[in-house]
Amino acid sequence: MARDDEEEKDDDDDATTTTTVIFRDLTAENKEDLRRLNQIIFPVRYTDKFYEDCARAGAATQLAYDKTGRELLGAIACRLEMDPTKNGARLYIMTLGVYAPHRDGRIGSRLLQHALNAASEDAFIHDVYLHVQTNNIQAIEFYERFGFEQGEVLRNYYKRIDPPDAVVLRRDLGASWTRADPPGVTFERNFAA
């Protein structure tokens, strides 16, 4: 079974424009849109359990569509986990990806900002974490701009990609996170096609 590997694919660091988008929760009606995005962007094939876990994460998992609502531009897929002390929960970012032609519209930044907002509104969730391939400096720097800190390096974490090592990035959701609504986003809750 494939691991829930994470890789950030959003080159929006120097974007001067903000693409107007519609965020939608993951539903049975749009699950295949997320599956297609993941198949194109990531070197891992995810099982149905991956998508079930994403749906259980509620509003933290979001799909970003163009302003007409017809074209998927990007998505963030998360799951909830018990923290190691069993005194709360953690949000794990499994994937964050934006199709290449749309990577200059700050879509990835707004997806991440929204996921952090959603997690911070749940008092049971203490932190957010993810794994990034050790040579993906751009992704590491992207997450560091959102207050993530590098932790341990896991050797041979990835099974079919090189290098196989991953760094754990973690962000506490305590007083240091300031909620801000992502600009240029319209939310459609429980959208059905």
Which CATH number do you get for residue 63? 3.40.630.30
* Residue at 100 is within a domain: yes
Per residue in 136-189, pLDDT tens? Answer: 999 999 999 999 999 999 999 998 889 999 999 999 998 788 999 999 999 997
- What is the separation of C-alpha 31 from the centre of its chain, rounded to a whole number of angstroms? 15
* Residue at 2 is within a domain: no
Per residue in 99-148, pLDDT tens? Answer: 999 998 999 999 999 999 999 999 999 999 999 999 999 999 999 999 99
* Residue at 1 is within a domain: no
* Residue at 84 is within a domain: yes
* Residue at 22 is within a domain: yes
Q: Distance between CA 189 and CA 173 in Å, rounded?
A: 24
pTM of the full structure: 0.89
What are the C-alpha distances in Å from 143 to residues 41, 45, 80, 153? Answer: 18, 24, 19, 16
Which residue numbers are catalytic? 92, 131
The tally of domains found in the chain comes to 1
* Residue at 3 is within a domain: no
Which residues in 30-47 are b (16+ Cβ under 10 Å) and which e?
Answer: bbebbeebbeebbebebe
Write out the residue range of the structural domain in which residue 156 sits.
8-188
Residue pair 60/78 in contact (Cβ under 8 Å)? The answer is: yes
* Residue at 167 is within a domain: yes
* Residue at 115 is within a domain: yes
